[in-house]
Structure formats: structure tokens, C-alpha cells
Copies of this chain bind each other. A is one copy, B any other.
């Protein structure tokens, strides 16, 4: 179905920064960049690292630009772990079994910026579940948090007892306890799984992941070479794409002429209108349901809980900014951060 499943090869800094000029006096390490980003920090902090005091407008501009450049040169910056990795199920008598452990971890959002987090199997987003319509699926949840939890399969039309809402469809899964969900994969599409107990806090802290059900009879018009899931969040870990803030976000890479499918999912508390430079997106699915008439756009607004699938024909070579167009979610005076990544067409 696709050549690359969420595993685009990272580009080198040399490939990415095609026309930039490195201000050698400014350390490219993110520690500077992070320091500058703290509330109240002034551009003068970076200027202090520059060889000349910011006595003129040009010097001040150079100091600001150096911070912007440092962020971009660092992209894609390496962090300790990535989320949203493809989840290989165990097979048990024809059932695809996924074991989820819910636990507290430290999560590196950008290099050096570690946050207390709650995660499925140590990943944010949790491991990406992909099954086929009609598959028998079992999800074993072991709760190692200090509070109860429950897993809701957002978008899946399941029997009520498997819906994951404490005191409505099941008791909460207490600390130390386990719970097993089992069902036949229903309506295909781009769905999610996440906590549905104390959810404003638990989802914000990281208890979320993609749950994709591939259709038995795929629509030929939806064929793609690259299939990419992009989960948006805006809780205590800041503005993130798949659990990371720029420059630690992951670029999407395609060869010229390939078709890229992007599955946007919003697990945050705000809308995020994602804007792609250089090429348009063709909207093909909403909440997993196909559009009878696909619609083109370049800015795809995703509200909390929504999923939108788009196709991009990667026909314009280059490195293209791809970011939330609520600009304070993507850039400050100290450079790009948060909900920014790139589509790289080789």
C-alpha cells in the first residue's frame, strides 16, 4: 500500500539548509535556543553570545536572525525517543493482540527539554495501531499510573461495553489493575485511542495514539506512496506534532511524483490550521469517512477530536515549511518552535 510507513529518512543539516549562511559565532546547540525561549528572556541573551555588542539595529537583527537560523539548522533535532512507532501485534489464535502499559515517564519534547508525561508503552503518541477492517483485535491495558484510567477508541463503532467510559460502560482501571478490550475492527479510517478518565489531564499528559483501520476494499483514489500520521497536541508539553516540538519534529520525505497521505488528528484543546507551502492538499476523508467530492486546500483546519485525511501530490521539489498558521503556535521572536515541520520533496 505504501513504501514508507512513518519512517521517512531524516535529511542531513546540509541538505536542509540550502541557502542559509551559518553565523559561526552563535552556538548551534539547542541549549541556547531553549534558554532564549523561556518566558521573559530577551533577544539580548543571544546577542550576548555574538562577537559584537548590539549597538546598532543591524546587530540586533543579526542576533535575532542567528537564533532563527540555529533552530532551523538543528532540524530535525535528535531526541531520546520517538512516539507513534508502528505497533506490531502478537498473534493469538487469529487475534491481533496489543499490550499497552500506562506509566509515567520523562519525555524529551525538544533536545534537553524533558517533561513529566504519562504514556502508552513509553511513547507519545502511543504506538500506532494499524489493523484491517474485520480483524479480531485485543488490547490489554495494564495501569501503572497512580490514578485510574480507561481507554476509549475514538471513532470506532464498537459494542457499548468496549467504549471505555468509566461508570458508563466499565469501571475505571485502578492503579495496578488491568483491563482487556476485545472487538472486531469496525468502520475503517483514521481513528484514535486515548484516555477517557480524567481525560483533560490524561490526554494532555500523553495518553493518546492513532488507531487506523485499513479498509477491506480500499478506494483506488486514496492510494498513496507515503502514509503519514500527524497528531497535534497543545497541552502541558507545549505545541507538538507527534509529541515533539520543532526542531525535534519529524520531516515528511517523498520522492518527486509520489503521493503522500497525511492523516491529521487533533488531541489538543485548540484548533490548528495546518498550512503546507508549495503544494496543495486534497481532502479525502473526515473522521475516517470518505468525501464524495474531494476538496483542495492549502490550510487544513483541524478541531479537537477531528481527523482529516489529505493527499499531497509531491510534484514541487524542495524543502517546504509545514506549520500551524496560528503563528504563535509556530514562531516566536526567537525562531520557529512548536508546530512546525517540513515536507521534503527530493
Contact = CB atoms under 8 A, between A and B. Distances in A.
A328 B160 contact: no
A72 to B, nearest CB: 4
Given A297-B287, A306-B301, A152 B277 contact: yes
Contact of A280 (B167, B289, B299): B289
A205 to B, nearest CB: 12
A157 interface: yes
A73 to B, nearest CB: 7
B19 A171 contact: yes
A210 to B, nearest CB: 15
Interface in A264-306: 269-271, 273, 275, 277-280, 286-289, 291-293, 295-299, 301, 303-306
A318 interface: yes
A269 B327 contact: yes
A280 B287 CA distance: 9
Contacts of A60: 146-147
Contact of A168 (B197, B321, B328): B321
B72 A167 contact: yes
A325 B199 CA distance: 10
A344 to B, nearest CB: 10
A200 to B, nearest CB: 4
A187 interface: yes
Contact of A148 (B61, B305, B320, B326): B61
Contacts of A73: 167
A164 to B, nearest CB: 9
A9 to B, nearest CB: 18
A160 B17 CA distance: 12
Contacts of A296: 286-287, 289
A269 B103 CA distance: 35
Contact of A160 (B292, B299, B301, B319): B319
A273 B155 CA distance: 14
A1 interface: no
Contacts of A326: 269-270, 304
A172 B331 CA distance: 15
A168 B16 contact: yes
Interface in A159-184: 159-161, 163, 165-172, 174-176
* The 6 nearest A-B residue pairs measured at CB: A160-B318, A305-B325, A289-B296, A200-B327, A57-B146, A301-B303
30 contacts: A17-B168, A19-B170, A57-B146, A58-B176, A61-B147, A61-B148, A61-B172, A64-B198, A69-B166, A72-B166, A72-B167, A157-B278, A159-B316, A160-B278, A160-B319, A163-B277, A163-B278, A198-B333, A200-B328, A200-B330, A271-B301, A273-B303, A280-B287, A286-B296, A297-B306, A298-B305, A299-B304, A301-B303, A303-B325, A304-B326
